[in-house]
Structure 1
Amino acid sequence: MKHTKLWYLKKFNLLETFSAEEMISLKDVLIDNVVKKKQPIYLAGDPDENLYFLKEGRVKISRIDESGKEFTIILLEPGEIFGELGLFDDSPRETAAIALEDSIICMMKRRDFEKYAINKPELSFKLNKLMGLRLRQIESRIEELLFRDVPSRLARLLLRLFEQHPRETTNGTRINIKLSQQEIANLVGATREMTSMVLNSFKRSGLIRIESKYIYLIDRKELEKIAR
């Protein structure tokens, strides 16, 4: 079933106070983009001037250092927004947003957001709350990198993903995102070789099962012990 742009917009919490008329006017200023898997929505150094709405697909927000090493900060699902700093800061972007699969993105220019924000101060309030939440997430990730070993970081990541992206199947509960070992390594902040070694250890111990890049949860309690 093909949904309209208006149907998608109603799924975003940021817009829940918009009237039907405001929604109709809003859809006319949003620009739809289809982004193929592994293609960037924006890169570090790009102008920071747009807000993005993820309609379909999945997106990762990452930092990439000068050597090319990538650290993935967050994974985004349909119904989430990103690029919000572009509404409050003129500095170039410090992160990259990359499609994990074929995705549909709505883009809103800063000047259009400002027009709506004048009459709807709750928009800025909600965005500030979102930025605060993401700052806490980043602080938590930094704490993990500084004070936890790779098995603990990987266990914590898997538990988060099972909570955020669960899918019940006849074969058990799985993380409903296909992730390569390199993508998992980027989320954990470790090398692919180390990540592969720890994943294999978890599999041998009966904590998880991996089928077609889907990870299934087998023993939550043991994962929680490692995560502590």
Structure 2
Amino acid sequence: MVASASDASPQHVLHAAIERLGSGQNFRRHSYVYTPNQPAHALYLLLSGQIGLQMFSSEGRTLTIKVVEPGQVFGHSALAGGNTYDTYAQALQSARVVAVARGALLAASATTPGLSMALLELLGQQRQTLSRRIEEVAFKSVPARLASVLLEMSGDQAHHPQPQQHVGRRTHQQLAEMVNAYRETVTKVLNQFRDAHLLDVDRTGITLLNLSRLRELAQG
């Protein structure tokens, strides 16, 4: 049963608009959906695969702001009014996306109930994510940054506690890029977390076993 305009969630309204107005595109692994020197003309919905939103330092270090999973939207610069995108969007796996032109989406917001609110909410979430990641890199230790990233990727919410949470499979290099640390350092911290029974690692990904302790570490 399709939700009506009055009871649909902002995410549902946004996804429906993108799918209605957009067109599908495929990207091979390691290819770029966009780069910071390209005009920010479209918003994207990921259907399959993974997309890494990345920034590069002057020394060539990679900082992965976020790993986009299927069902998530990226390309927020198109909504912010900027001339170009503010990150690189690289396909970490073969990916299929739906791209919708900024003009078409904004025009639809005038006639689609809830779409304007959904776009504002999406833009606010992205700005919070970017600010939080930069603040953590500047002021927190590697264990604190890693705990924060793992909790974020698991969808952990302190006001809706769960006994355990699962994080999809990530390489140690991907995690290192998300916390701006060397891969060897991340491997060492993961081993420390595992020895302390904070998490477990297997072929499917990472299971967070002690969420309360990881939240404490993330605040450090």
Q: Give the TM-score of the pair, scaled to structure 2.
A: 0.79
Is the aligned partner of 1:68 residue 2:68? no
Is the aligned partner of 1:154 residue 2:146? yes
Matches within 5 A, 1:131-210: 131-163=123-155, 175-210=166-201
Deviating more after overlay: 45-54 vs 215-224? 215-224
Whichever residue aligns with residue 202 of structure 1, its letter is F
Contact 1:42 1:97 in 2 (8 A): yes
Whichever residue aligns with residue 200 of structure 1, its letter is N
Matches within 5 A, 1:87-126: 87-120=79-112, 122-126=114-118
Q: How many Å separate the matches in 2 of 1:128 and 1:111?
A: 15
Q: How many Å separate the matches in 2 of 1:75 and 1:134?
A: 12
Q: Show CA shifts across 1:107-128 (max 9, x none).
A: 1122322432343374333212
Deviating more after overlay: 174-183 vs 213-222? 213-222
Is the aligned partner of 1:220 residue 2:211? yes
CA gap 1:43/1:16 in 2 versus in 1, 3 angstroms:
closer
Q: How many Å separate the matches in 1 of 2:42 and 2:34?
A: 10
Q: How many Å separate the matches in 2 of 1:51 and 1:88?
A: 11
Is the aligned partner of 1:31 residue 2:31? no
User: Which structure's CA Rg is the greater one?
Assistant: 1
Q: How many Å separate the matches in 1 of 2:11 and 2:165?
A: 26
Contact 1:178 1:213 in 2 (8 A): yes
Contact 2:39 2:85 in 1 (8 A): yes
- SS of the counterpart of 1:119? coil
Structure 1 position 11, deviation (Å)? 9.6
Contact 1:55 1:106 in 2 (8 A): yes
Contact 2:10 2:114 in 1 (8 A): no
Q: How many Å separate the matches in 2 of 1:200 and 1:17?
A: 39
Contact 1:84 1:127 in 2 (8 A): no
CA RMSD of aligned residues (A): 3.0
Q: How many Å separate the matches in 2 of 1:16 and 1:221?
A: 33
- SS of the counterpart of 1:32? strand
Aligned length: 207
Following superposition, which runs of at least 4 residues in structure 1 exceed 6 angstroms of deviation? none
Q: How many Å separate the matches in 2 of 1:17 and 1:93?
A: 21
Whichever residue aligns with residue 181 of structure 1, its letter is H
Calculate percent identity across the aligned residue pairs: 26
Q: Give the TM-score of the pair, scaled to structure 1.
A: 0.76
Structure 1 position 33, deviation (Å)? 0.9
Q: How many Å separate the matches in 2 of 1:135 and 1:191?
A: 26
